[in-house]
């Protein structure tokens, strides 16, 4: 099973405060749209900053100010304790796998963004991440080297842009569309 991960953060640094985690499990062998059960959680950013020194960027805050009202609504939600979210996310990942299976690909949008930031968050809170380092994959790289614009144009975005789950589902759908054309993954 593959997982597409998307984070909404308050910085682009590897120790960014994480607003929300969105993920969807998918497999290249199933018929389109082959996007399965999703995961979404809003995290307590105050605890991340106060107790773990997670980073907030002025530029990222200004960027958030220019996003849609629907996307900014996340700031009105009460964030859950990070440890509880990480435990739930790990359990969700395990639930997606066949018995004894491993994550084939943990896909993030950028080689130094989603996967790195979430791995860093797991470490900061003393948790073991639910995927091995060999499963780290970069959606942005595949999208760029295949000229993924055709797949993007063929895939309708559903939901709210910069909602972590909606973004993860869209990215998984685009990746599946790219794979249909190039047969890169099984």
Contact present, 34 and 136 (Cβ < 8 Å): no
* pLDDT attached to residue 9: 98
CATH code assigned at 103:
3.30.420.10
**Tens digits of pLDDT across the chain (186 residues):** 899 999 999 999 999 999 999 999 988 876 545 566 799 999 999 999 999 999 999 999 999 999 999 999 999 999 999 999 999 999 999 999 888 889 999 999 999 999 999 999 999 999 999 999 999 999 999 999 998 777 777 788 999 999 999 999 999 989 988 998 888 887
| Residue 95 C-alpha from the chain's centroid | 17
Alpha helices in the chain (DSSP H): 45-52, 58-65, 69-72, 82-96, 114-124, 139-145, 149-154, 164-182
Rounded to two decimals, the pTM is: 0.94
Q: Name which of 20, 29, 32, 23 is nearest 4 in CA terms.
A: 23
* pLDDT attached to residue 28: 84
Q: Let me know if 48 is exposed, middle or buried by CB neighbors in 10 A (0-12, 13-18, 19+).
A: buried
Preceding peptide of 65 cis, ω within 30°: no
Specify the pairing of strand 35-42 against strand 18-26.
antiparallel
Measure Cα distances from 68 to 5, 9, 35, 72 in Å. Answer: 21, 16, 25, 6
CB neighbours (10 Å) of residue 149?
11
* pLDDT attached to residue 31: 53
Alpha carbons within 13 angstroms on the beta-carbon side of residue 106 total: 26
* pLDDT attached to residue 85: 98
Name the residue range of residue 65's domain.
Answer: 2-182
Total number of domains constituting the chain? 1
* pLDDT attached to residue 147: 83
Specify the pairing of strand 18-26 against strand 136-138.
unpaired
């Amino acid at each position: 099973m593959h997982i597409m991960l998307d984070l909404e953060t308050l910085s682009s640094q590897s120790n960014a405060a994480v607003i929300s985690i969105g993920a969807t499990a998918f497999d290249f062998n199933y018929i389109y749209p082959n996007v399965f059960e999703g995961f979404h959680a809003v995290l307590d950013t105050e605890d991340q900053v106060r107790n773990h020194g997670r980073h907030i960027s002025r530029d990222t805050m200004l960027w958030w100010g220019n996003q849609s009202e629907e996307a900014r609504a996340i700031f009105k939600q009460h964030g859950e304790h990070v440890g509880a979210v990480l435990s739930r996310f790990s359990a969700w990942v395990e639930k997606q796998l066949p018995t004894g299976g491993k994550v084939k690909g943990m896909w993030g949008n950028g080689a130094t963004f989603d996967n790195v930031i979430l791995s860093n968050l797991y470490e900061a809170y003393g948790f073991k991440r639910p995927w091995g380092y060999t499963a780290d994959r970069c959606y942005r790289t595949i999208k760029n080297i295949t000229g993924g614009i055709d797949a993007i144009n063929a895939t309708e975005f559903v939901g709210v842009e910069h909602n972590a789950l909606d973004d993860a589902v869209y990215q998984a759908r685009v990746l599946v569309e790219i794979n249909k054309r190039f047969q890169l993954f099984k």
